Amino acid sequence: MNITKEQIDDLNAVVKVAITKDDYQEKVDTILKDYKKQANIPGFRKGHVPMGLIKKQYGKSVLVDEVNKLLQDNLNKYLTEEKLDVLGNPLPKQQDNFDWDKENFDFEFELGLAPDFDVNLKSKKAITHYKIIADKKMVDEQVERLQKQYGKLVNKQEVGKKDEVTGTFKNEAEEIDQKTTLELSKIKSKKALDSLVGKKPGDTVSLKTKGLFKEDYLLPSALGIDKEKAEKLNIEVDFTIEEVNEREPAPLDQELFDKLFGKDNVKSEKELKERIKEDSEKQFEQQSDQKLLNDVTENFIDTVKFDLPSEFLRKWIQMTGEKPLTEEEAKAEYEKSEKGLRYQLIEGKIIQENNLQVQFDELKEFAKGFIKSQMAQYGQLNPAEEELDNIAARVMGNQDEVKRLSEQLMSQKLLNLYKEKANLKTKEVTYENFVKEVYG
Instruction: Indicate whether 279 and 361 sit together in one domain.
Output: yes
* Res 57: pLDDT: 86
- Examine residue 71 and state whether it is found in any structural domain, yes or no: yes
* Res 101: pLDDT: 87
Say which amino acid occupies 183.
E
Average pLDDT for residues 404-416, to the nearest whole number? 94
CA distance 385 to 372: 10
* Res 418: pLDDT: 96
Task: Give bridge partners of residue 307 from the DSSP assignment.
Answer: none
Cβ proximity of 116 and 10 under 8 Å: yes
pLDDT, tens only, 143-154:
998 998 899 999
How many independent structural domains does the chain possess? 3
3-state secondary structure 370-412: HHHHHHHCCCCCCCCHHHHHHHHHHHHCCHHHHHHHHHHHHHH
Question: Is 91 a residue whose pLDDT tops 80?
Answer: yes
* Res 19: pLDDT: 94
pLDDT, tens only, 273-310:
999 999 899 989 989 999 999 999 999 999 999 999 99
Cβ proximity of 178 and 224 under 8 Å: yes
Q: Residue 59 is part of which domain span? A: 2-113
Question: Is 40 a residue whose pLDDT tops 80?
Answer: no
- CB count, 10 Å around CB of 436? 11
Q: Rg of the Cα trace of the chain? A: 34
CATH of the domain at 193: 3.10.50.30
* Res 65: pLDDT: 93
* Res 236: pLDDT: 94
Average pLDDT for residues 24-34, to the nearest whole number? 91
CATH of the domain at 66: 3.30.70.1050
- Examine residue 378 and state whether it is found in any structural domain, yes or no: yes
Instruction: Indicate whether 22 and 158 sit together in one domain.
Output: no
* Res 164: pLDDT: 94
Give all strands of the β-sheet with 86-92 in edge-to-edge order: 2-9, 12-19, 105-113, 86-92
Cβ proximity of 118 and 305 under 8 Å: no
> For 409-434, b where at least 16 C-beta lie within 10 A, e where not — what string?
bbeebbbebbeeebebeeeebbbeeb
Question: Is 334 a residue whose pLDDT tops 70?
Answer: yes
Sequence-ordered alpha helix ranges (H) in 161-201: 190-196
Average pLDDT for residues 394-412, to the nearest whole number? 92
